[in-house]
Structure 1
Amino acid sequence: MDMEPVTYDDPYDYNSTGDYVPDNDTSPCSLQEVREFSRLFVPVTYSLICVFGLLGNVLVVITFAFYKKAKSMTDVYLLNMAVADILFVLTLPFWAATHATGRWVFSNALCKLVKGIYAVNFNCGMLLLACVSLDRYIAIVQATKSFRLRSRTLVHRRAICLAVWAVSLLISVWTFIFNQKYTLQGSEVCEPRYRGVSEPIRWKLLMLGLQLLFGFFIPLVFMIFCYTFIVKTLVQAQNSKRRHKAIRVIIAVVLVFLACQVPHNMVLLVTAVNMGKMDRTCRGEKLMGYTENCAEVLAFLHCCLNPVLYAFVGQKFRSYFLRITKDLLCVRRRPKSPGFSCSRLHSETFVSKQNSETADNDNASSFTM
């Protein structure tokens, strides 16, 4: 999804940027102030999201790789989600550079690759959120059947994850095809171009529809359905302290998802509704430009919050994260203090690890619930 309003200089380039002349006005509508805002706002926010997104998700991958093996399907989904988020945030520096310079300075091949990686991993992350919701529903609501059901899914966990990645690639294939580098109004851009295809507006609507369906509505339906029944089950649970904590986590997960994704997807809906309309006002175009910038940043911020919501809030996962911190401290202090011994430090972490792992079973995960 591009960040700036459309133009009508080329009837086939519906994502183009620039100024245009409204039908009800004789003077051109200048969007220069929107571009100036984007040039300052987007590079800074994208850079921050990239740094914190990499930090949080790399820690999740390191924890699973060296300290805690993925024992449940939720853990498998969290690991795949972290990988998808890492690949996703690695594309943000390209867009930060593009907004800072006002043009796409890289090659056409890199344009297709970066756009494609962005789409695949964003959709994959959203679908994995739906998978986490379903797995938690099976583990908590269908507790009597969960051991048998989740044992089967663990056997086929590679196939399930491959299927999620394959679906994400399939619904994003048009991103690889249509995005290209070309010159628009004297500046090189990397955007979808529908020249040479019949009914380009339908292709654009199809791409927007797939993004809305798999990037928002499917995860939202799964989360509402699964977490509603999970909360209902937890309310009837005996352990009130654990119940209240789990319910708070669920509320946080749903609210953060809605806060990050609803504005972005509302922009997509408005874009789809206004597709091809020529009677838009200059003020409306400027407002849409500012809204697109802010809404997309909010949507991208979700990849930084995923490790916090789905991993670090879990008590067991936090204990493993503390082990990473202590081990790094041990490595840093050992050369400076020859007499320093890590044995006591490791014995303390071993006790916490034993206490944590004794509570693990086939239904357990790093998720708080």
Structure 2
Amino acid sequence: MTEVDLNATEYPDYSYDYLQITTPCDKGEVRNFTKLFLPIAYSIICVLGLVGNIFVVMTFALYKKAKSMTDVYLFNMAIADILFVLTLPFWAVNYAADKWIFGDFICKIARGIYAINFNCGMLLLAFISMDRYIAIVQATKSFKFRARTLAYSRLICLVVWVSSILISSSTFIFSESYSHSINKTREICEHRSSTEMKGLTLKLLLVCMQLLFGFFIPLLFMVFCYAFIVKTLMQAQNSKRNKAIRVIVLIVAIFLVCQVPHNIVLLVTATTMGKLNKSCESEKQIAMAKYITEVLAFLHCCLNPVLYAFIGVKFRSYFVNMMKNLWCLRYKKYKTQSSRISSDTYHSRQTSENMSDNVTSFTM
């Protein structure tokens, strides 16, 4: 990388660079903004994300045994979101101190976990959409083959985790903590390659992979699956139909609001990467937009527990009972009763009732 490139990437970002020009661009305004804004924003996201997702993990682990593919996906997505938000304090300190202070090993680990769990969470959203499509649109088939598909759910999650690790492997390999070439006293945590062209190619590849696996694939699954789900619900005579449709619209709308702005910035970055005629002002605007929209995208991990777990009637009842157990310190009694009641209810449910049960997972 050139000195100008390093000055442009003074903040960690596993996917892209912003400047590829011959004249240095003073981004003092951007640095002053991020030094105040990002530590506060990342701290809030970390706290909210931990609280919501830990409650989901506790509910599944201590009280509610997974009975469907969606339950398995939700459990894994909560774990991915927890690991993801746990990396944010490192970046909050990095921005506040205006330098990386944790060394090379933590740099690789923090950036690698950051990338793996972000990609894993987004891919799991795609599979949750597919499972809801099978459960509602293909209700008869899903009931008939539920035992077989449940057996594959853990395998699917394993494939998602392995795929996310492979997709993010370059982050582990090329991330380094090193001194800024302009200011030798300032350590940064960034991708580092032997040549400028190799570094530019790597960054462009990472942008494309993040756009593909972190946005377009989940969006494609959600639009396709939820469109058919809404169509099926419109034809169903169910008292919870309208609530279910509103929840689906809310899920898609929040996904678009959180993810579209940041991915537009990624697209702009990918199309302008390597160009030499970019103005300093436009680069500062893109940099500012990148940080603001990135925070908006990260907020989605705080909303996932509400949109996909607590919004379900059955999950809420399990969660309330679990909290009562914790309050009364009578874990075993309530756990045994809940497990037996849940198992009996599940196995006694008829095919005609399966549609209604699946719809309740979308109702308030």
TM-score range, shorter chain: 0.7 to 0.9
TM-score (norm 2): 0.87
Tell me the residue number matched to 1:4: none
Cα offsets for 1:4-34 (capped at 9, x unmatched)? xxx95256x59623998977xx8x5421111
Tell me the residue number matched to 2:120: 124
Number of residue equivalences: 345
Which amino acid counterpart does residue 48 of structure 1 have in structure 2?
I
Q: Report the 3-state secondary structure (helix = DSSP H, G, I; strand = E; otherwise coil) of the residue aligned with 1:277.
A: coil
Could you tell me how far apart the structure 2 residues matched to 1:36 and 1:99 are?
10
Tell me the residue number matched to 2:54: 58
Could you tell me how far apart the structure 2 residues matched to 1:15 and 1:134 are?
40
Cα offsets for 1:28-83 (capped at 9, x unmatched)? 54211111110111000100110110000000000001111110000000000000
Which amino acid counterpart does residue 296 of structure 2 have in structure 1?
L
Equivalent pair of 1:267/1:291 in contact (CA under 8 Å) = yes
Equivalent pair of 2:19/2:283 in contact (CA under 8 Å) = no
Shift of 1:357: 7.0
Show structure 1 runs of 5+ residues with no match: 1-6, 332-341
Equivalent pair of 2:107/2:175 in contact (CA under 8 Å) = yes
Shift of 1:198: 5.9
> Is 1:41 aligned to residue 40 of structure 2?
no
Equivalent pair of 1:22/1:282 in contact (CA under 8 Å) = no
Which amino acid counterpart does residue 210 of structure 2 have in structure 1?
Q
Which amino acid counterpart does residue 235 of structure 1 have in structure 2?
M
Which amino acid counterpart does residue 188 of structure 2 have in structure 1?
V
Cα offsets for 1:291-333 (capped at 9, x unmatched)? 11111101111000000000000111111121233233335xx
Shift of 1:199: 3.7
> Is 1:88 aligned to residue 81 of structure 2?
no
> Is 1:174 aligned to residue 140 of structure 2?
no
Equivalent pair of 1:56/1:304 in contact (CA under 8 Å) = yes
CA 1:356–1:131 in structure 2 vs 1: closer, same or farther (change >3 Å)? same
Could you tell me how far apart the structure 1 residues matched to 2:86 and 2:266 are?
23
Could you tell me how far apart the structure 2 residues matched to 1:20 and 1:142 are?
50
Could you tell me how far apart the structure 1 residues matched to 2:313 and 2:270 are?
43
Q: How does 1:217-236 map onto structure 2 within 5 Å?
A: 217-236=216-235
Q: Report the 3-state secondary structure (helix = DSSP H, G, I; strand = E; otherwise coil) of the residue aligned with 2:188.
A: strand
Question: Is the helix fraction higher in 1 or 2?
Answer: 2
Tell me the residue number matched to 1:335: none
Tell me the residue number matched to 1:337: none
Q: CA RMSD in A?
A: 2.9
Q: How does 1:245-264 map onto structure 2 within 5 Å?
A: 245-264=243-262
Tell me the residue number matched to 2:309: 311
Equivalent pair of 1:8/1:20 in contact (CA under 8 Å) = no
CA 1:279–1:197 in structure 2 vs 1: closer, same or farther (change >3 Å)? closer
Tell me the residue number matched to 2:157: 161
Which amino acid counterpart does residue 209 of structure 1 have in structure 2?
C
Tell me the residue number matched to 2:15: none
Which amino acid counterpart does residue 78 of structure 1 have in structure 2?
L
Structure 2 residue corresponding to 1:105, chosen from 92, 101, 113: 101
Could you tell me how far apart the structure 2 residues matched to 1:324 and 1:82 are?
17
Shift of 1:263: 1.0
Q: Report the 3-state secondary structure (helix = DSSP H, G, I; strand = E; otherwise coil) of the residue aligned with 2:187.
A: strand
Could you tell me how far apart the structure 2 residues matched to 1:22 and 1:83 are?
41
Shift of 1:183: 1.1
Could you tell me how far apart the structure 2 residues matched to 1:172 and 1:142 are?
34
Tell me the residue number matched to 1:338: none
TM-score (norm 1): 0.86
How high is the sequence identity, in percent, across the aligned residues? Answer: 57
Shift of 1:242: 0.8
Could you tell me how far apart the structure 1 residues matched to 2:200 and 2:39 are?
30
Could you tell me how far apart the structure 1 residues matched to 2:26 and 2:245 are?
49
Which amino acid counterpart does residue 324 of structure 1 have in structure 2?
M
Could you tell me how far apart the structure 2 residues matched to 1:15 and 1:219 are?
30
Show structure 2 runs of 5+ residues with no match: 12-17
Q: Report the 3-state secondary structure (helix = DSSP H, G, I; strand = E; otherwise coil) of the residue aligned with 1:191.
A: strand
Which amino acid counterpart does residue 213 of structure 1 have in structure 2?
L
Which amino acid counterpart does residue 201 of structure 2 have in structure 1?
R
Which amino acid counterpart does residue 41 of structure 1 have in structure 2?
F
Equivalent pair of 2:80/2:120 in contact (CA under 8 Å) = yes
